Amino acid sequence: METLNIALLGFGNVGKAFVRLLVEKRQDLLDRYDLEARVTGIMTNRHGACLDPNGLDVKHLIELMDGGQDYSLAALDRLDFRGDCSDFIRHCNADVLIETTPVNPKTGQPALGCLKEAALNGMHIITANKGPVVFGFRELTDLTRQHERCFRFESAVMDGAPIFSLFRNSLAGAKLLGFSGILNSCTNLLLDRMRAGETLDEAIAYGTSIGIAETDPSNDVDGWDAAIKVAALSNVLMGQNLTPVDVNPTGIRGITPEMIKTAEAQGKRWKLVCQAGWKENEFFARVAPEMVGPDSPLYTVSGTSSYVSFELDVLPGLGILETNPTPATTAFGLLADLIDIHSRRQK
C-alpha cells in the first residue's frame, strides 16, 4: 500500500466535497489502487489553516464543516501554524498539493506562484483553477518534470469531465483541429431563464440565490470565464500561448428580451458559443453569443450543463456533454488526477 499525503490550498465548496469524496471512496481506493490518501494540511483565507504531519482528524474536520460557515481550522492544527503560503508548503509534509482557490483571469496569481513553489519543493501539483493552467502550463509542466513529479488539472475546464486526460491517454496520437461548445454553465442558465421571460438582472438574481452566479457576475456575464477556458484548451491541447485578453470575448450583456423573442420566432436560441481552431492556416479563438437552431448540438444544452465538440484529424466530431455539475463533480476530477499520479508512480 502507498500512502499519499495531501495538502489543500483553498477549502471552499470544492475542497469540502473532495474531503467527503476521500472518505466515501477510502475503501475503494484501497481495494482497487492500493492507495491511502491522507490530508496533512489545509490553508484558507476564510477559515485559517491547520497542519498535522500524521494526518488530520477527518471525522472532526467534517463535523466542523457541517457545523456552519463560521468555523476555524485552528482546532485541528498540531503545529501552531501562523505562516503564509510559502510556510504552509514547506511544513505541510505533503506529496501532493491540491489548489482550489478563486481564479484570477488576468494573471493567474497568487495561485500560480503557490503551485510553482510547491513544484520547486518536489511536490506533485493538482489544480481546479484555470488561471495557472492558462498562464503557467509550460512552466509548471517543466518544473514538475524536472523533479519527476506531475502537474494535473482535469477540473479546470468542465469540472470533472475527462478532457485533458482523454487527450493524454485515449486520444494520444490524434491531432486536434478545432473545438466549439458551451463552456460557461452560468450564462447558459441565464439565457434559459431569459428565454422563460426573465430579464438579465432577474436571471442573475436567481443564479446568485442558488450559488451558480457570483455576487459580482461580470466574469461570467461578460465572457471572461469562457475566454479563460478557451485559452486553457487552446494552450494545452493545441500548442498556443493565449490569454483571455487574446480571446477578447463578447458576453451576453447585450442580449435583450427582444433578441430572445426574435430568436424564438425563428425557432432558434441564443447561446454563448466558444470556438477555437485553425482557419486558412490562421489560429482563431472566439467567445460570443450566437443564435443556434435545432440542427446544432448546442440547441438542447440546457440549465447549467456544458458541451464541447472536438474536430480531430482521425475523428470528424467527438462531443462531451456534462449535465448539471455540482462541486462533487469538480471534486471527482481532483480525485481522478490523484489516482493518475499514484498510478504513474507505481509503474
Amino acid at 338: L
DSSP string for 6-42: EEEE--SHHHHHHHHHHHHHHHHHHHHH-EEEEEEEE
Minimal CA–CA distance to 327: which of 9, 19, 4?
A: 19
H or E element at residue 155:
none
What is d(CA 290, CA 288) in angstroms, rounded to the nearest whole number?
6
| CA distances from residue 243 to 17, 28, 191 in whole angstroms, order as listed | 30, 39, 26
Cis peptide before 132 (omega within 30 of 0): no
Amino acid at 164: F
Q: Out of 229, 268, 279, 347, pick the active-site residue.
A: 229
List, in sequence order, every beta strand (DSSP E) within the chain. Answer: 2-9, 35-43, 49-51, 96-99, 124-127, 151-152, 176-182, 269-279, 282-292, 306-312, 318-322
Q: Where are the alpha helices (DSSP H) in 50-184?
A: 58-66, 85-91, 111-120, 130-146, 164-168
- Is 229 catalytic? The answer is yes
Residue with cell 480531430: 312
Cell numbers given for 237: 491541447
What is d(CA 346, CA 270) in angstroms, rounded to the nearest whole number?
48
What is the bridge-based pairing of β-strands 2-9 and 35-43? Answer: parallel
Phi, psi of 158 (to 5 degrees): 60, 40
| Residues annotated as catalytic (active site), given as ranges | 229
